[in-house]
Structure 1
Amino acid sequence: MSAHIPTRSHTTAPGRVDIKLPWWAVVLPAIAFAILLLLITAPGQAQAASGDPALTHLLERVQESLSR
């Protein structure tokens, strides 16, 4: 028994690919981009982290030793 091979009812121009995306494949990346853009342009109540001075000093030393 042979398998039926579906054929397209319409043809596209040679060298052109016919791709159909679901709606969410376009909408979700657009929403994610808009949210990230809003976070970058309006950071809101972002404050600098107040870390332990000893830890900051240690990280500076490590950075100095790696840059040599």
Structure 2
Amino acid sequence: MAAPTHPRPHPATRDGAGHCLPWWALALPALAFVALLALILDPSDAHAAAGDPVITRLLQHLQQLTAR
């Protein structure tokens, strides 16, 4: 004799939106991106890149483009 099967309940959705992200799920990656971008755009702190003029010129060019 086979055991009776129960159908799975459907997941509850709110207005068809599905899941909501908490505020920190967007704020933390954005904060990390801004922090890394600030480190890249400040060539005075990039001591290892001081010997390579190509990388220095590229960073200065990117900094000028973002300053506009």
What TM-score do you get using the length of structure 1 for normalisation? 0.43
Q: Which has the higher helix share?
A: 2
Larger radius of gyration: 1
